[in-house]
Amino acid sequence: MNTKTSAYCPECHKAVSFEIQKEERLGLIKGDKYPYMRMVARCTHCNEELDVYNDENLKILYDAYREAHDLISLEKIREIPEIYNIGKRPLSLLLGWGEITFSRYYDGYLPTKQYSDILKRLYNDPEYYRTTLEEGKKAVNEVTYKKSKIALQELFSFIPTPIINVAAYIIKRKHDLTSYRIQKLLYYSQGFSFVFCKSPLFIDLAEAWVHGPVYREVFYKYRDNSIDEVFSEFLTDIDKEFIDCVLESFGRYDGDTLEGFTHKEAPWLDTRGNLASDIHSERVIPIEAIETYFFNVKNRFGMESMHDMKKYAQHMFQQL
């Protein structure tokens, strides 16, 4: 993102401060027009549009084209070499493409639908990449082949459970997490999944620890930094959309605040029973208790869509 605080104004003939706005425009790519939200910097003195966000706006326009044609995102293209520990040129050769083809896509050129579908499959399916690596290994040198194969072995050495996939997505989306904060975001994701999804996100049971509900497997793997963000891609787009709504509603609060929420809710309170607030406990919160509680929340707050979760989050914040 551009970090300028001033820019030259051709009307004022000097460097000026500017205000940032978003304006809908039509961009032209390959003879077709695509609507997109353009970032505009306007001079605070004369309102002239300044030359500040051209690169950013070009990417936004290309992203609109990618979405309209169901093409893989630039971000995912750039993750592929990282996931499989392979260079851009060797990857292109491995795929049987021209040696700079993948590099062009990596730099922002738009792939054809055919090539985009191949890249999507590489990104989403390590097993497909493994087949590609074995079938095309003669196109790359032995060192490259071995390095990429080791990356695959490491990727397959741990088969993530559904809760780890959810945790990985939360980690990918929120970069200021603490151990207890991720636990609460998992808890609210699970609780509201009973309400807005056809099935719960995972089957793991939370324990009623001193600082609120905790999922033991995630607690230790997060502590050991062994949850890879790539596991988030095992989630469906619908799951991701739902978790995004949870993060929009609850992700704005820190771990202590979210802990305060759970300390006022029946599943944790009832499971703890008469235990003192500082007494360690491994008591399991019944999953039926979580399901019942969040269905009652839905009815109480008149939630019609997953975006309404923020009503409950705001209410709980006001109770603290």
- In this prediction, residue 152 carries a pLDDT of 84
- Is 230 domain-assigned? yes
175 & 246 share domain: yes
Give pTM, 2 decimals.
0.54
> CA distances (Å), 308 to each of 250, 289, 296, in order?
12, 21, 14
Percent of the chain surpassing pLDDT 90: 59
Q: What is the CA radius of gyration of the chain?
A: 24
- Beta pairing partners, 177: none
- What are the tens digits of pLDDT across the range 80-101? 999 999 999 999 999 999 999 9
CA pair distance 245, 249, nearest whole angstrom:
6
- Is 1 domain-assigned? no
**Domain end call among 156, 188, 209:** 156
Which residue range forms the structural domain that includes residue 281?
162-319
137 & 33 share domain: no
**Domain end call among 44, 68, 92:** 68
Does residue 3 surpass a pLDDT of 60? Answer: no
> CA distances (Å), 197 to each of 59, 200, 295, 309, in order?
33, 7, 12, 13
150 & 166 share domain: no
DSSP state of 107: T
- In this prediction, residue 299 carries a pLDDT of 96
- Is 131 domain-assigned? yes
47 & 112 share domain: no
CA pair distance 230, 91, nearest whole angstrom:
19
109 & 225 share domain: no
- Is 225 domain-assigned? yes
What residues have CB less than 8 Å from 2, skipping those under 6 apart? 52, 53, 55, 56
168 & 303 share domain: yes
60 & 78 share domain: no
Query: How many domains, in total, are found in the chain?
Result: 3
134 & 234 share domain: no
- The number of angstroms, rounded, from the C-alpha of 215 to the middle of its chain's C-alpha atoms is 20
DSSP 143-206: HHHHHHHHHHHHHHTS---HHHHHHHHHHHH-SS--HHHHHHHHHHHHHHHHHHSSS-S--PPP
- Is 302 domain-assigned? yes
Q: Write down the mean pLDDT value for the chain.
A: 89
78 & 131 share domain: yes
Does residue 48 surpass a pLDDT of 90? Answer: no
- In this prediction, residue 67 carries a pLDDT of 76
- What are the tens digits of pLDDT across the range 186-216? 999 999 999 999 889 999 999 999 999 999 9
**Domain end call among 38, 68, 98:** 68
